[in-house]
Amino acid sequence: MGSTARPEVPLPAGFTCHVGNVGIKDDTDDFTVIAADRPCAVAAVFTRSRFAGPSVVVSREHAADGQARAVVVISKNANVATGAAGLDHARELAAGVATAIGAAPTEVLVASTGVIGRPYPIARIRAGMAALTWPFDGSDAFRVAQGIMTTDTVPKVAEATVGDGPARVVGVAKGVGMIEPDMATLITLVFTDADIGAEQLDAMFRRVIDVTFNCVSVDSDTSTSDTAIVMASGAAGPVDPDALEAAMHAVALSLTRQVARDGEGAETLIEVHVDRARDREQAKRVAKAIVNSPLVKTAVHGADPNWGRVAMAVGKCSDDTDIEQERVVIRFGDRELYPTIVDEAGLAQLSDYLRGDEVRIHVSLHTGDAEATVWGCDLTDGYVRINADYTT
Amino acid sequence: MGSTARPEVPLPAGFTCHVGNVGIKDDTDDFTVIAADRPCAVAAVFTRSRFAGPSVVVSREHAADGQARAVVVISKNANVATGAAGLDHARELAAGVATAIGAAPTEVLVASTGVIGRPYPIARIRAGMAALTWPFDGSDAFRVAQGIMTTDTVPKVAEATVGDGPARVVGVAKGVGMIEPDMATLITLVFTDADIGAEQLDAMFRRVIDVTFNCVSVDSDTSTSDTAIVMASGAAGPVDPDALEAAMHAVALSLTRQVARDGEGAETLIEVHVDRARDREQAKRVAKAIVNSPLVKTAVHGADPNWGRVAMAVGKCSDDTDIEQERVVIRFGDRELYPTIVDEAGLAQLSDYLRGDEVRIHVSLHTGDAEATVWGCDLTDGYVRINADYTT
């Protein structure tokens, strides 16, 4: 089993794609359809936002029976907070794609990402749907990843083989800001040609998402459009479920790290590992408090081994009254900084470490034996510039 | 009753101060003592951080009996995560000041603010305590506010008279970052010459803090040193309790807004008002989600009337399942942006509004009749620069 990220990754057997431009915002790719030649097992998890968009509403309905033929993604417009017309547009999108590929409307899932509160330029989308030619001739996951990008600076693709093959898992993701997924990330699409039932696929996918995408945070903001979908075509036949889950985990983990590294304005990937915790929830809560702290994020950006800010972030978890500051251990990389205090020469070495493109913060709570790992990125002038200038 | 912020505000009758430099970090004021000529009623609230510093531990002990003579503040070093020696130093500080003013050690409260994880330069503090001359000849609250500053750009002072007088309330505060108080703000000291019992003072102070300092957030990080203290000398005699609470509220509200406006790198004060909520907790939770959202904060910084980000922040409160996006109303200033969508000319006007030095975001949830107001500031390149460069 291997996991890589590079251009020209073919979709698993049974899937093809169409990636094009219909003029949602500019002339970049904004209309992406991935379809299977027969019904697939499907599982999906979505944002819990109270402002969830119509795409999420429609996809949740259409994934409920565990079967789907295709997913269509509109990028550059989220179709969120667009009222009754927005919901009509999402249903029309599913139905139009279904007609083009000879499927039922309920066999098509929809995802959408971009600006909030603007109606779709629906006439352009209608023209795009009318021009679809089935069967599709595309099969490159790299093109799919490009088609769903908004302000991402790089397309995000990962693949893994299941055991010794021939089944494969291929995933794509997009998302650089508004990222603290709550049930799912912005948009993640995972495809496999393994043959697996929808119920087993759903359970497996939720376990994988829980320790990957649900552990990444760029800015503590949660999208209204978070959508993670997995589709299994079955073209490669049945596989060992553990090997499939391992391959799926490798793909999701790679995509998670790619998303964190490409966080808006980010220059450094931050991995926070918390162990010796009472339970996984405590470990994850403390790890998220650290990775989301603006003061920790700016310290990493400034290559400042200011471990006091990590102590502050641990301290914020004030309901965790079993955390005793005398027993907490804080490390940057492998270097212990608290309670053993390092001298100025040691701090200078750590500053060099923090200048790398990946930083690991490791905290032991000594309240139990559970652990969790989360991923994020530094907070830079670039984040402020990107988000002060976006939209209008 | 009036509330102002200007230099040369005398402390209330019965209080004097010493403000000086003992060389904690540089040659700016770092050693501040405010003392009363007789025991005062005292109340205090502190951080709930699991990394609370020794100053908090000692002050909590010394305030427990509702009586105190003085408070001493060391700025530029928080004395946090400094182990057993740090606790010894905090006790020595209280005892040394007590000796100088002829009080019991338990009658002196301690507060400390600055870098975490560095021991006090205790020899310098000892020299400073030895040089104290009692009675103090200082009485200017503006000097006190200067003495407790770290990276604050302006001293923060507020005063109010109680009813028609003669009793007064004078408050000072410091704090620009690591500000999402959890029971108290960084350091707030409030003095009054009104005569009031400790128990009544405590209840009144907690009510006031709850709707002022506990509603400000600069960066969602919670300090290890949060301390709010009120002392009542009684020199002006008894007063109407409601008038005293109103004066105390005016002082605390003014200081809260000064703290938000002086947030690290901040250029704009953001006031978020949420009404028509199920209960005050829901209103405050939603208001904090908005004021803490990096995407909302950068939109304000960029004068971008991107109300979709406010919708996103409301949506983050996903456990509030009674919030229906169809019933939410979002306004910037008095201008409704959702569900009534404003046109491009309206958005241009709003962009002008967002360029002001104070922005009000008003959201109605329509889940009930409760409300809350919170304060914060925009997120700027300046915040990143300040915090990427601080300390080492």
User: DSSP secondary structure string, A142-186?
Assistant: HHHHHHT-SS-SS-EEEEEESTTSS-EEEEEEE-SSS---SSS-S
Tell me if B116 and A52 make a contact (CB, 8 A cut-off): no
How far is the alpha carbon of A377 from chain B, nearest alpha carbon, in Å? 14
Q: What is the mean pLDDT of residues A23-27?
A: 94
pLDDT higher for A179 or B107? B107
Task: Give the lowest-confidence range in A113-127, A216-230, B124-138, B251-265.
Answer: A216-230
Tokens of B143: 């000097």
Active-site amino acid positions of B = 185
- Beta carbon pairs, A and B, within 8 Å: 208
- Tens digit of each residue's pLDDT (9 = 90 or more) over B103-130: 999 999 999 988 788 899 999 999 999 9
Query: Residue written as tokens 């589709």?
Result: A231
> Angle at the Cα of A227 (from A225 to A232), degrees rounded to 5?
160
Is the pLDDT score of B24 beyond 70? yes
Per-chain mean pLDDT for chain A: 87
pLDDT value of position B2 = 40
Task: Answer whether the bond into residue B121 is a cis peptide, omega within 30°.
Answer: no
* B155 has a pLDDT exceeding 90: no
Q: With beta carbons under 8 A apart, name residues in chain A contacting B117.
A: 307-308, 311, 338, 341
Closest residue in chain A to residue B221, using alpha carbons only: A293
**What contacts B4, CB < 8 A, 6 or more positions away?**
B158, B159, B254
Residue with more model confidence, A42 or B210: A42
Q: Cβ–Cβ contacts within 10 Å for residue A317, how many? A: 21
pLDDT value of residue B220:
62
Q: Is A345 exposed, middle or buried (0-12, 13-18, 19+ CB in 10 A)?
A: exposed
Contacts of residue A272, Cβ cutoff 8 Å, sequence gap at least 6: A287, A290, A291, A360, A361, A362, A363, A373, A374, A375, A376
The rounded distance, in Å, linking the Cα atoms of B92 and B75 is 16
Instruction: Identify whether the C-beta of residue B208 lies closer than 8 Å to the C-beta of residue B228.
Output: no
Q: Would you state the structure tokens that stand for residue A168, as one six-digit string?
A: 């494969």
**Binary contact (A387, B298; C-beta < 8 A):** yes
> CB distance A116–B387 less than 8 Å?
no
Helices A294-301 and A280-292, packing angle to 10 deg: 60
Q: Which residues of B touch A326 (CB under 8 A)?
A: 83
pLDDT greater than 90 at residue A93: yes
pLDDT > 90: percent of chain B: 46
Give the sign of the dihedral formed by CA B73, CA B74, CA B75, CA B81.
Answer: negative
User: pLDDT grade, residue B16 (50/70/90)?
Assistant: very high
> Tell me, what's the pLDDT at A183?
34
pLDDT(A121) > 60: yes
Region A106-112: mean pLDDT is 93
Q: Per the CB < 8 Å rule, is B304 touching A392?
A: yes
Interaxial angle between packed helices A294-301 and A308-315, expressed in degrees from 0 to 180 and rounded to the nearest 10: 160
B342: confidence class by pLDDT, cuts 50, 70, 90: confident
Residue type, B260: A
Q: Would you state the pLDDT for residue B225?
A: 62
Calpha distance A202→A209 (Å, rounded): 11
| Catalytic residue numbers of A, as ranges | 185
Residue pair B110/B77 in contact by the 8 Å Cβ criterion: no
Listing DSSP states for B254-309 in one string gives HHHHHHHHTSTT---EEEEEEEEESSHHHHHHHHHHHHH-HHHHHHHHTT---HHH
Angle at which helices B54-63 and B83-101 pack, to 10 degrees? 50
CB contact under 8 A, B308 and A116: yes
Q: What is the pLDDT of residues B64-103, one digit of tens each?
A: 999 999 999 999 898 988 889 999 999 999 999 999 999 9
| Cis ω for the linkage preceding A339 (within 30 of 0) | yes
The share of chain B scoring above pLDDT 70, in percent, equals: 92
* Average pLDDT, integer, range B201-206: 89
pLDDT above 90: residue B329: yes
pLDDT at B5 over 70: no
Q: Which pLDDT belongs to residue B176? A: 63
Integer Cα distance of A205 and A4 in angstroms: 20
Chain B residues close to A313, C-beta within 8 Å: 221
Nearest to A50 among B292, B307, B314 (CB): B314
Q: Which residues of B touch A306 (CB under 8 A)?
A: 116, 390-392
In angstroms, the CA B29 to CA B152 distance is: 13
**Predicted local distance difference test score (pLDDT) of residue B392:** 43
Higher confidence at residue A213 or residue A181? A213
* CA dist., res. B213 & res. B186, Å (int): 9
Number of H helices, E strands in chain A: 11, 13
Indicate if the pLDDT at residue A227 is higher than 80.
no
What pLDDT is stored for residue A220 in this prediction? 62
Q: What is the pLDDT of residue A16?
A: 94
Question: Scanning the structure block, which residue is given the tokens 């105190």?
Answer: B68
Query: In this prediction, what percent of chain A has a pLDDT beyond 90?
Result: 46
The C-alpha of B98 sits at a distance from chain A's nearest C-alpha, in angstroms, of 29
What element of type H or E holds B45?
strand B31-46
Residue A6 confidence (pLDDT) = 52
CA dihedral A90, A91, A96, A100 (to 10 degrees): 100
Residue B43: strand pairing partners: B230
Which of A72-81, B274-283, B330-339 has the highest average model confidence (pLDDT)?
B274-283
Q: Write out the E strands in chain A.
A: 15-20, 31-46, 67-77, 108-115, 156-161, 168-174, 187-195, 227-238, 269-277, 329-332, 335-338, 358-364, 370-377
B315 CA: distance to closest CA in chain A (Å): 4
Lowest mean pLDDT among A114-128, B2-16, B294-308: B2-16
The pLDDT value given to residue B379: 87
- The answer to whether the beta carbons of residues B313 and B296 sit under 8 Å apart is yes
Q: Are strands A358-364 and A269-277 parallel, antiparallel or unpaired?
A: parallel
Backbone region of residue A270 per phi and psi (left: phi > 0; alpha: psi in -120 to 50; beta: other values): beta
- pLDDT higher than 70, residue A4: no
Separation of alpha carbons B45 and B65, rounded Å: 14
Rounded Cα gap, residues A8 and A67, in angstroms: 28
Q: Which of A108-112, A132-136, B312-316 has the lowest mean pLDDT?
A: B312-316
Out of A52, A299, A391, closest to residue B306 by CB: A391
Which of these ranges, A243-247, A357-361, B277-281, B342-346, has the smallest mean pLDDT? Answer: B342-346
B315 to A383: CB separation less than 8 angstroms, yes or no: no
CB B136 within 8 A of CB B6: no
Nearest 10 degrees: CA dihedral of A239, A245, A249, A255?
50
CA dihedral for A341, A342, A347, A349, sign (positive or negative): negative
Confidence band, pLDDT 50/70/90 cuts, at residue A276: very high
| A328–chain B nearest CA distance, Å | 10
Q: What is the pLDDT of residues B268-314, one digit of tens each?
A: 999 999 999 999 999 999 999 999 888 899 889 989 888 888 988 89
Minimum mean pLDDT range among A97-106, B206-215, B351-360: B206-215
Q: Say whether pLDDT at B156 is over 50.
A: yes
**Contact between residue A64 and residue A45 where contact means Cβ atoms under 8 Å apart:** no
State how far the Cα of A280 lies from the Cα of A302, in Å rounded to an integer. Answer: 31
Which residues of chain B make contact with A267, given a CB cutoff of 8 A? none
